[in-house]
Structure 1
Amino acid sequence: MSHIQPESTIQADVLDDLDHLLVTALQTSPRARWEQIGAAIGVDATTAARRWKRLTEAGYAWLSCHPAGIGPTPPVVAIVEVDCAAGTLHQVAAAIVDDPHLITIDHVTGSRDLILTGVFPDHSALARYVGLRLEALPGVAATRSQIASAVHAVGSRWRLDRLAPDGRQALTPDQASGGTVLRRGLSSADGLDHHLLALLGEDCRTSAALLAERTGASPSTIRRRLDRFHRADALIYRCEVARYLSGWPVAVTLWGVAPPDAARITGQLIAQRETRLCASLSGPHNLLLTVWLRSMEDMSAFEARLYARFPELTITDRAVTLWPLKLASQILDPQGRRIRGVPVSFWHDPAAERTEEDLIRRLAEPRRPGPDRMPGTPDHA
């Protein structure tokens, strides 16, 4: 087991070995007791808790939790590219950063300005959001959307991997500490479930006893509900660290073309140390990969390894993240430090719904052709 000397003063913008061990331990088991966390990293519980408090207050690291989905069908995961008019990028980003269903927002290089990852209850909700929300915003010049037909890996699986094997064995892994976006979730949820999910979204380490006190339910009822959440793989836990302090400061999104039967490729891609997100997409560029790299120089070497291992895979485009404005529902500053969180839920906008209803009414009214027009000819023809 690793033994670290009692904590020293955290210097500005520097994480020491204890910090990295602590983050790895919480990535492995986010709801473990501080006694377990301390035993895994070689310090006492008080030191572990105090150090974590200081990291989170500085925005260097954080925990978050949100539901994988509620309902009989899995949510629709979409990747939306946004082009902004000159000088409006930050205005557009500020307008959408609190949209509760947007999990990530990245300002990137290349042929688009923003890349959004969002979850929607169905395809019509995605169409409503893009057509009646995004494209109506001042500054949005164009959008392009693709649906993830399968999500093979997400950032909740990524680890700093600083713990020795005996340190990992000292922790009891949470059933919901990893996994993908497209989980089973809850087929239904009552008022207590929603209350619990909201409280866990505020602090995923809240104890069953405190959850019982805040909800008015008994501790045994709360424990049964939590067990149900975990059995259904209904919660996505994330322990993140500001990327520039992680040792992996460069984030790159790659688009590729893979053969229709790409299971062998995706199965190996998700095992790569650098992989944060791997998804199959609905468009001609049918594979999306987001990786964290040690340096910009590593990008060419990483792609070379991909081509050597997967000659049937073609990388068609790439974008480097300049500002990760939102990561796993947390708003970040340009350095990737946490500012605040946004509770995750499906987007709901009564104004957009009314606009859609008006459009449907107009579409339902047949247009009478004029005397010199063929039926169906537009007015402007």
Structure 2
Amino acid sequence: MDHDSLDELDQRLLQALQLDGRAPFSRIARDLGVSERTVARRYQRMRPRGLRIVGQPVVSRLGLTRWLLRVHCTPDAAGTIADALARRPDTSWVTLASGGTELYCALNARTADERNALLLDRLPRTPHVLSVSAHCMMRIFIGATSTWHSTRFRPQDAPAAVGSGADSAPPLSLDATDRVLFTELARDGRATLPELAAATGRSPSSVQRHLDRLRGEGALVLAVDFDPRLLGFHMATRIWLNVTPRHLRTVGEALATHPQIAFAAAITGASNLVASGIFRGPADLYDYVDRRIGRLPGIQGIETAPTLREVKRLAPAVP
């Protein structure tokens, strides 16, 4: 399918879903000025093309720490190692970049032992792994994952800094119903209350109370996943920035407002800010670096690494 076949109404539907992925079609139809049947038909038409609404946990609210791994491998082994990391339940996304010799991986760990089992034991002993660096995500300014969240159509009042207001809040305790809900919503963020009630063995009203608590406490967000290539964006790029400490928050918050950026976080390491951007092509990336990043204060260095393949994305992180 060519991106031109997505008309204005499709794009407005993506925007509405980004505001609230579980919004009733009746409300979306009223906001868009069309019939509920039209909205449902457009939504069902886009699903086979890759549209997903996915419930995602905010790891900081569940007592987890997210780490970003940079793994350098020999070219013949990078794909195999990426696939092995993707099969792990404690990784939420894995991408290949830099000529197929480097991969990036988000690891969610509750304890130092969980983290070290992979970083100090498994990966260093893996054949063809040349080096591993681990960067703790100290603050996420926007995005719970590395994927694209229809950023071109991000409404001004849509939530941006996922989990930023809850970074210092105590972890939210989960019961069995909460865990089942995370699992079901990771499959389909728009699963109906009767479907969720059947999966949890609870009443629809009880399920609704659990959902309201998880969303109200900032532990659950709904991500809109749609292939940006269908809208003409063909270059996903990881951007590593070295920012002076006094400007780190300013730059991170600025990136969160840029429509090209789907993910941005302050991290430990030589590059203290990392972002994921989506661009139409090399010229679009150049203009962004030149006109947007180049005008931000405190930028001391930048490294860009186009994504070659997304191996895993939008995976649940509930232990």
Aligned to 1:334: none
Match of 1:94 among 76, 83, 90: 83
User: What is the SS of the residue equivalent to 2:179?
Assistant: helix
Offset, 1:116:
1.1
Matched position secondary structure for 1:248 = coil
User: Once the 2 structures are TM-superposed, how far is the Cα of residue 78 of structure 1 from its aligned partner?
Assistant: 1.0
Identify unmatched segments of 5+ residues in structure 1. 1-10, 330-342, 347-381
TM-score by structure 2 length?
Answer: 0.86
Identity score, percent: 23
Structure 1 residue aligned with 2:222? 237
Tell me the equivalent position of 2:162. Answer: 180
Task: Give the drift of 1:133.
Answer: 2.9
Pair 322,219 (structure 1): closer, same or farther in 2 beyond 3 Å: same
Q: 2:37 aligns with which of 46, 49, 69?
A: 46
For residues 229-267 of structure 1, the C-alpha deviation after alignment (integer angstroms, 9 at most, x for no partner) is: 111111021112102113332122121211112222222
Distance in structure 1 (CA, Å) of the matches to 2:251 and 2:233: 23
Q: Is the contact between residue 100 and residue 308 of structure 2 (CA under 8 Å) also seen in structure 1?
A: no
Q: Please give the alpha-carbon distance, in whole angstroms, between the structure 1 residues aligned to 2:140 and 2:291.
A: 22
Output the CA distance in 2 between the equivalents of 1:280 and 1:12.
Answer: 36
How many residue pairs get matched?
312
Q: Name the SS for the 1:197 alignment partner.
A: helix
Question: Going by fraction, where is helix more abundant, 1 or 2?
Answer: 2
User: What is the distance in 1 between the residues matched to 2:114 and 2:155?
Assistant: 45
Structure 1 residue 99: Cα displacement: 1.7
Q: For 2:21 and 2:291, locate their aligned partners in 1 and report how far apart those are by CA, in whole Å.
A: 33
Counterpart position of 1:271: 257
In the alignment, the residues of structure 1 paired with residue 34 and residue 122 of structure 2 have an alpha-carbon distance, to the nearest angstrom, of 50
Q: Which has the higher contact order (CA 8 A, sep 6+)?
A: 2
The residue type paired with residue 65 of structure 1 is: G
Query: What one-letter code is carried by the residue in structure 2 that aligns with 1:327?
Result: R
Answer whether contact 2:141 2:160 (CA < 8 A) is retained: no
Q: Which amino acid aligns with 1:144?
A: S
2:269 to 262, 280, 283: 283
| Among candidates 309, 323, 329, match of residue 295 of structure 2 | 309
Aligned to 1:35: 26
Counterpart residue number, 2:317:
344
Cα distance in structure 2, aligned partners of 1:294 and 1:155: 22
CA distance in 1 between counterparts of 2:227 and 2:251 reads 29
For the aligned residue pairs, the C-alpha RMSD in angstroms reads: 2.8
**Distance of 2:312 and 2:118 partners within structure 1:** 18
State the shift of 1:276 in Å: 1.6
Q: 1:281 to 1:56 in 2, by over 3 A?
A: same
Equivalent-residue separation in structure 1 for 2:75 and 2:154 (angstroms): 46
1:69 positional shift: 3.5
Q: Does 1:80 align with 2:80?
A: no
Q: Distance in 2 between matches of 1:324 and 1:152?
A: 22
Q: Report how far residue 33 of structure 1 moved.
A: 0.9
